[in-house]
Every structure is written in C-alpha cells, then in structure tokens.
Amino acid sequence: MAETVQFDLVSPERLLASVAAHEVSIPGAEGDLTAMADHAPLITTLRPGILRVSGPSGEKEYVVTGGFAEISGKSVSVLAEHAVAREDMTRETFKAMVDAATDKLAHAQEKFVNEPGPVDEMAKLLADMVAVGDHIGLSAN
C-alpha cells in the first residue's frame, strides 16, 4: 500500500490538514465511502460524521458537518462547513453544534408545516449529529 493521495481538509476559516494519505473515509450524504489512490473522480456532499484519514504519518479523525468532498485519482479535498479534529472536540463545541441543529429543526418545523421534506432533512441532520456524539462518547445533555 505504497500509493498515497494528497489529502486536504479545508474549512472556510482555515486549512486544517494537508497531508499524504493511504485512505480517507468520508461520511458521504448517501453513505460512507473510503477513497484510496486511483479512485474514480467523484464529488459528493457530506453529512455530519467522522472523517478518518490514515497515512504514513498515522491515523487522524475529524468531526465534520456539512460541506462536500472532491475526489480524484490523486487527491481528496474535503471542504467542510465545520471541521474539528476529534481530540479538540469538547463537550461545549459538541453541544453548540447539536443546539444549532435542534434550532434548525424547530425552525423547519415551524416554516414547513405541510412539507415533510425539509423537516425530515433537519431531523436527519440532528440524528446524524447525535450519532457522531455517541461514537466519540459525548452527549449533548
């Protein structure tokens, strides 16, 4: 497994990581996927989840919410709306994120009373967030 891809993780505020990686697990909107060298070019949106990167310099995890990933044979660029390295994830940040999702859900429920679509989407967003919390052992309450 000598081949690597160039992995970049950027949030609007800064470049979080730019390293060589063997494989990158991405929480895609339609399911998780793992990108390795020579992956077919793909652009996918993200759901809140855990991004796992393993490369020559070890393995690292990030919590990402929203955004998208661009995968080509040689590089993987993840443009996340919010990205925090897992070890920097505190209960407070997580709670703020869950609260934001809860707010959005309440807002959607109010605005789209007769349209289940947006409400379901927001509910899924919140559920995804909570699932992330379970995974890393944090709870919003």
Partner 1 sequence: MPNLKDLKNRIASVKSTRKITKAMQMVAAAKLRRAQDAAEQARPYTERFNAVMGKLAASVGDAANAPRLLAGTGEDKVHLLVVMTAERGLCGGFNANIAKLAKLHAAELLAKGKTVKILTVGKKGRDAMRRDYGQYSVGHIDMSEVKRLGYADAQGIAAEVLKRFDSGEFDVAKIFFSRFENVVSQIPTMQQVIPFDMSEVGEVDTDSFYDYEPDEQAILADLLPRGVATAIFAALLENGASEQGARMSAMDNATRNAGEMIDKLTIEYNRSRQAVITNELIEIISGAEAL
Chain contacts with partner 1 (rule: CB under 8 A): 8, 10-15, 28-30, 40-45, 67-68, 70, 72, 77, 79, 81
Closest CB to partner 1 among residues 14, 92:
14
Instruction: Specify whether the CB–CB gap between 8 and 78 falls below 8 A.
Output: yes
Q: State in angstroms the smallest separation of the CB of 133 from partner 1.
A: 21
> d(Cα 105, Cα 101) in Å, to the nearest integer?
6
Closest CB to partner 1 among residues 74, 135:
74
With H, G, I as helix, E, B as strand and everything else as coil, classify residue 118: helix
Closest CB to partner 1 among residues 59, 116:
116
> d(Cα 79, Cα 90) in Å, to the nearest integer?
22
With H, G, I as helix, E, B as strand and everything else as coil, classify residue 99: helix
Q: State in angstroms the smallest separation of the CB of 47 from partner 1.
A: 11
